[in-house]
Structure 1
Amino acid sequence: MGALQKIPTFLTVCALVMIFACLKRHTRCARLTLWAVGWTLVFIHFAAQLLEPGAGPADPFLLAIDGGALQAAAIVFLVSVSAVVEERARRTLLLLALAVPSVTYAVLNAYDVRWRWPYVLCLAGCFGAAAGFSFWVKRGFSLYLAAVTLLCSLAGAWAIQAALKGSFHEGTVVLLGIGFALPGVFICRHYWNASPAVLTISGGFSCWGAVFPSLWLIARYAPHMSLPGALWETPKLFVALGMILAVVEDKSEAIAGMQRQAEALNRQLERFSAITSRLLSGAAPDAICPDVAAAITEVSSFRAAVILIESPEGMLRIAGSSGLSPECLRMLEERTPEWTASHIRGLCARGRRIGKMSFVVAPDAQPSNGTGSMALAGRETEGKPSACRESGTQLLIPLNSAAGTCLGSITLTAGCEVSAIAAEELAHIESLAGDLAVAVELKSLHTQLVWSEKLAAMGQLVAGVAHELNNPLTAIMGFGELMSDAITSARTQDQLKRLLNETRRMKRITDNLLRFSRQSSRDISVARLAPVVQEVVTLCEYYTRKSKVSVEVEISPDLPLLAINEDEIKQVLLNLFNNSCDALQEVAESRQIRIRAYQAGARAVIQVEDTGPGFSNLGRALDPFYTTKPVGKGTGLGLSVCYGIAKRRGGDLRIENVAPHGGRVTLELPVVETLPQALLVASAHA
């Protein structure tokens, strides 16, 4: 083929190199990179041919570049459609193992080296490395691998036999023929689908590989046969066309995948927007949570979802679930009453944050109290695997209020790795979780508002009743005391004494009712906590010593003055202390009351904790007239009065149960630090 006849093919390959270079800039793919490198080597091969003289002996250097570039292109194309193309280390190892001996063979042949053993070593090294690498990667026997190895071994043995006889052209035919034919087999094996791209590439490589033995056979057995040179270049064009079609198909598939993903996200938005509309319209979160869980599993890649909401008692409960087996749901329902919002915060602290407010937790993550896994995958129990063990990634999305209070959580299971979770999908679920948290908080605020209105109405009612009862009670007490002085009968005096005691108890009840309903002024008043606590403990010393109750007081020495009347804080502490003493009557051992006080920011925190049975109903313990004490023992106003005093003074009062048993009341009151110290001391002792 003359120089002018080679120019069209040269320009065509040059255009292909530019096309693949442009495609590589827009697509990060190891296969496409190797294709661009392979066509660059083919271009170098044609450039060297174009520079070779039309007559006379050829320059060995140009022949080495010609044959070496073509052989290297065959190896690059072979690796580009192999099973290790996306593994950088193995890909590099395979390239070196095949390219070094095969290119060396081509260079030796170009310089017409007549020693036999370098050729034999190159052939043995190339085919041996290929066979060893194949069995190392596959790690097992397969009919396909055995057939390919057998054919390559037979071809290699024929080339080695020829090299031992001093004929080296057969080795070049075998290396180039197998190097360009095997990619056609590999692409059908590893990327098979009946698409035009795969069929074109496979057929093109097969024909390209067949060119070299065909030329050898014609030169050997029909040297006078003349065929057009363009015929032998046609397979290259088919391969290039197939590769371009493959890139176009990949792009089309990627675009179709993006469209499907966009449609899925739109369905998510529509479904979640409908749920958000129901939440904003005032629907109860308990009625919507099952729909939220179902929507997450139906329109997202997460296969299981559980929504936990904090109950009025401070414990978590399952408000909605989807994608769980009945056995797994039953186990979660058994464990949920042992969990609180603090366990969610603990798991979030130990988890790894992804997205805006999601945390990756281990499937067997344990709360701090060891009450069992809070993830959807259970842990092994008593040596047996959990019935609801799930594989995949576990995500925890806390339901936080605007103030940062944890109200519950959404726990999700994804059947993929963390890196495969779509960020847009997770963002939509996080947004839905935020809306659900707002709805739960609004429900809680509504409950508190109803309770406050009930208290206000109750206060107005009892104020009038208590005021009307005070006058006759005062008269009864006065006349009773006068009668006790005039009566000498011991039996009658004893009965009259009981009458007066009950009258005084009625008077205390009416005083509590009036104090509960009275609006106190906001005048400046301060109190020191330590003397008040000591006075309360002293007042109850007889009972605590008689009942063998251990009292532990721990007050921070630098605690500032409290912004509350001394009588009010004394009343609150006395009520709390008496409640703890009454609770300890049901305990046979380890009767202990602990009073602890410290400063937290602009507030003083006072905790009264006992080792009794705890609160039986946390949701109603602060309600007026609610009591679990025997008839005649309590009025049910103690905690309500304490709560009212704390709120009037800008503080708060919370109740909770502690493990393994016991109750804790936490009183928060503002501290006074801005007034002059002399004035504070004077006010405290006024």
Structure 2
Amino acid sequence: MDYYQVPTLILLWLLVAVFAALNIQRRNWRRRLWLAGWLLTATQMLLECLGAHGPWATAGITCCGTLGMLMFLGSLAVPFVGQRRIAWVAIFAVPTLAYVIMATVENPAGPLVYAAEVSATVACAVVAVAWSTRPVYTPAWVTVGWSSAISIICLYFALRNDPGRVMQVAEAGIGIWTALLIGAVYRRPTPGVIFTAAGFVVWHAASVLVTIFAVSSSYLLLVGRSSNLVRVVAAVGMIALVLEEETRENAEAQRRDRQARREMERYAALYFPVGPHEDFIPLYRAVVEAASEASAFSLVGVLVRQVQGRMRLAALAGANDMQAAALERLAAELTEPELMSAWEEAQVRRGHRFEVGDLDLCRWFSQMDAAEFSADDPVRGIGISTRAGDLQGVILLGERKNPAERFMPEDLMPLHLLASRLAAARESSAMQRRVAQSERLAGIGRLAGGVAHELNNPLTVVMGYAELMEEIPVSEKMHEYAGVIRREAHRMRQVIEGLTRFWRPSPSPVAAMDLERILRRLEEVLRPECERQGVRLEVSAETGLPAARANGERLEQVLKQLVSNAAQAAASDGEEARVRMEAGHGEEHLRIVVSNSGAGFQEPERLFDPFATLKPRDEGAGLAMSLCYSMIRELGGDMSAYNLQPRGAAVIVELPVAMPDEPGSFRSEARGA
């Protein structure tokens, strides 16, 4: 036993214990491999100090040294399969260890030893070439040149039947290459990097020189003891390197916390309106400007899903003209089913973690549009979703301000919270819009009911006297006047009945209805009339829609009225006239959207008020839309009206889903078919 090595051995094992404690405190794949490498190195030194003898003991000592060096090299290797970064080393680690064991145990060397040596050399060459083709830390000629030089030297000693020197040169080549990688990976002249890299170089350069040149036994002993001391220096340097990394990570974390705090303060200063009829366009512009100013992204936009399911680029900041045009085309071509499918996939993939973006929007860019954006910073998005999970829009994230800066998924937390606030504001505004409409219509209904009740009795008297006047033998002119009074009084009674119905809807029989069949039948009836007005009618329905709980006759009356109004609005616009009628899923209901390309409603929030009109004021008023609203309420549904951007209008009819055991003519016909 070499007692001169005991203090160095004890010191090395103490450093290994310190390294283990640091690894427990904060674990990652690189520290695990470093800890394994130092455990193997310390074990090798322990076996050397104990003076182990015999071929198998020598094989164990050599394997510990070689495998330890492979651990250090593997910690700095680029990934080969997924995140298994040691896979590069594993390709030639197995044949190398096999050669070490067989060359040590089998003496003289036989065919198996030579086969293992050839396998290890070929594996080294394959790894070097494959590694040089990947984006690694060193130039390709350095990687291939160093591995080729080590392989040639090893082959030279192998031809001289000197396996001991082959193993020493191979281990030294791995160690010196590890030192070069440490400098290439960290690229900073800190004490940890200098001590670690210099320790590895001196540690293995001395053994290579002793291996190549013949030296005396006393000098060899001195080199061995100095080499063990240099191992301690390298271990101290690697511990210092770990501490430096922790210091840098802590400083970086503090910087990111400050950045996130400033970003949150900037977003908190935004005013989010929650009124029932707020215009969100100014808010979208303020959001993208604030995000472009405070976040890590310079290009920020907002895609909003409109009521008819189409996407629209509502606001954009930090983009040039070509990028803005590309995003406009993306919004025009992106369909709701595609976006919802990608959103659901992202939700499953993301879980509860913050990622660089919920949605990868690059898949929908054409090749020409994709070229307008940096390949290193693809356009991604953060979903704007309600609490029920309904996707309302997307916050677009493009080019980063500092692409060289490491980006962490947690950096998106302020933007996720901003998207949540935006979704909550939209949801609250929609809820207040519904409540305000219900309260207003309820008040109007009570007023209309009172007026109808007060007018009904006097009107009955007027109609009675008008009929008596028609029966009295008077002049023909008086009979004509009496007929006019009776007809107009009858018309007034119809208006009063409409007001009464609006105030107190009467329940109507309902059944399970197939919306797609209803829409297709209406398409056949309404298309000729639309074409006569120069309007293109488009009808669509999502596949797999459940049956709706509705009255077929009244639902058709409502849809006919909506399509008729939409066709008139589109035909009077003068541009490409188009009316769309679409059926699809809502959050908790089925919905039918009737939209047109016209100029939009003057006051969409008052569309369903009694006597509200879609015609010019000098053409009179009616009860058509209020009666439509009353009919849908009778069915347990709801109606709402919106203006589209940049032009157009839409009316949404919401219907409840039929119960599974509810009877229905359309459903039974479909089953019978």
TM-score range, shorter chain: 0.5 to 0.7
Name the residue aligned to 1:412: 396
The 3 A distance-change label for structure 1 pair 582 and 478 is: farther
Name the residue aligned to 1:7: 6
The 3 A distance-change label for structure 1 pair 279 and 98 is: farther
Name the residue aligned to 2:94: 96
Give the letter aligned to residue 148 of structure 1: W
Map 1:154-303; keep pairs closer than 5 Å: 154-160=152-158, 163-164=160-161, 170-171=165-166, 173-215=168-210, 220=215, 227=222, 230-275=225-270, 285-300=280-295
Distance 2:394 2:452 in 1: 46
Report SS of the residue matched to 1:220.
coil
Name the residue aligned to 1:144: 142
Name the residue aligned to 2:422: 433
Percent identical among aligned pairs is 17
Map 1:509-548; keep pairs closer than 5 Å: 510-511=492-493, 514-515=496-497
Deviation at 1:342, TM superposition (A): 8.7
User: Where in structure 1 are there 5+ consecutive unaligned residues?
Assistant: 366-376, 531-542, 550-557, 563-568, 588-599, 672-686
Distance 1:608 1:132 in 2: 62
Deviation at 1:197, TM superposition (A): 1.7
Conservation of the 8 A alpha-carbon contact between 2:154 and 2:169: yes
Deviation at 1:309, TM superposition (A): 5.4
Conservation of the 8 A alpha-carbon contact between 2:641 and 2:649: no
Distance 2:43 2:454 in 1: 107
Distance 2:42 2:622 in 1: 95
Choose from 418, 437, 448 the match for 2:437.
448
Choose from 61, 65, 68 the match for 1:70.
65
Distance 2:69 2:550 in 1: 87
Name the residue aligned to 2:579: none
Distance 1:182 1:125 in 2: 20
Deviation at 1:135, TM superposition (A): 1.2
Deviation at 1:205, TM superposition (A): 1.0
Report SS of the residue matched to 1:397.
strand
Choose from 116, 123, 129 the match for 1:135.
129
Name the residue aligned to 1:397: 383
Map 1:313-328; keep pairs closer than 5 Å: 318-327=313-322
Report SS of the residue matched to 2:92.
helix
Conservation of the 8 A alpha-carbon contact between 1:509 and 1:635: no
Choose from 489, 498, 506 the match for 1:507.
489
Report SS of the residue matched to 1:193.
coil
Deviation at 1:581, TM superposition (A): 7.9
Deviation at 1:10, TM superposition (A): 1.9
The 3 A distance-change label for structure 1 pair 509 and 670 is: farther
Distance 1:99 1:503 in 2: 112
Deviations 1:48-68 (A, max 9, x none): 233228xxxx55554444444
Deviations 1:135-170 (A, max 9, x none): 133249933135314532453354245x25xx6654
Deviations 1:500-558 (A, max 9, x none): 6765564355335544655988799776999xxxxxxxxxxxx99xx999xxxxxxxx9
Report SS of the residue matched to 1:101.
helix
How does the TM-score come out when normalised to structure 2?
0.66
Name the residue aligned to 1:32: 31
Deviations 1:585-621 (A, max 9, x none): 999xxxxxxxxxxxx9x99x99999xx9898746364
Deviations 1:331-390 (A, max 9, x none): 66688699998997677567644457999556378xxxxxxxxxxx5457xxx6578778
Conservation of the 8 A alpha-carbon contact between 1:75 and 1:98: no
The 3 A distance-change label for structure 1 pair 378 and 509 is: farther
Report SS of the residue matched to 1:275.
coil
Deviation at 1:237, TM superposition (A): 1.6
Bigger mean CA deviation after superposition, 113-122 or 430-439: 113-122
Deviations 1:277-315 (A, max 9, x none): 665999853332211233344444566544455778997
Report SS of the residue matched to 1:409.
strand
Matched, 1:46 2:40: no
Distance 2:127 2:530 in 1: 81
Name the residue aligned to 1:636: 622
Deviation at 1:179, TM superposition (A): 3.9
Aligned residues: 591
Q: What is the CA RMSD across the aligned residues, in angstroms?
A: 5.8
The 3 A distance-change label for structure 1 pair 627 and 469 is: farther
Conservation of the 8 A alpha-carbon contact between 1:306 and 1:318: yes
Distance 1:316 1:327 in 2: 19
Distance 1:561 1:136 in 2: 67
Report SS of the residue matched to 2:315.
strand
Conservation of the 8 A alpha-carbon contact between 2:632 and 2:639: yes
How does the TM-score come out when normalised to structure 1?
0.65
Structure whose alpha-carbon radius of gyration is higher: 1
Conservation of the 8 A alpha-carbon contact between 1:13 and 1:43: yes
Distance 1:178 1:608 in 2: 72
Distance 1:199 1:310 in 2: 56
Conservation of the 8 A alpha-carbon contact between 1:302 and 1:412: no
Distance 1:194 1:25 in 2: 27
Bigger mean CA deviation after superposition, 235-244 or 298-307: 298-307
Distance 1:130 1:299 in 2: 49
The 3 A distance-change label for structure 1 pair 465 and 288 is: farther
Conservation of the 8 A alpha-carbon contact between 1:459 and 1:516: no
Give the letter aligned to residue 624 of structure 2: G
The 3 A distance-change label for structure 1 pair 36 and 581 is: closer
Bigger mean CA deviation after superposition, 255-264 or 446-455: 446-455
Distance 1:219 1:667 in 2: 93
Map 1:334-349; keep pairs closer than 5 Å: 348=343
The 3 A distance-change label for structure 1 pair 279 and 390 is: farther
Deviations 1:399-421 (A, max 9, x none): 53x7x5969423434679xx964
Bigger mean CA deviation after superposition, 61-70 or 286-295: 61-70
The 3 A distance-change label for structure 1 pair 146 and 301 is: same
User: Where in structure 2 are there 5+ consecutive unaligned residues?
Assistant: 401-406, 513-524, 532-546, 572-585, 659-673
Give the letter aligned to residue 90 of structure 1: W
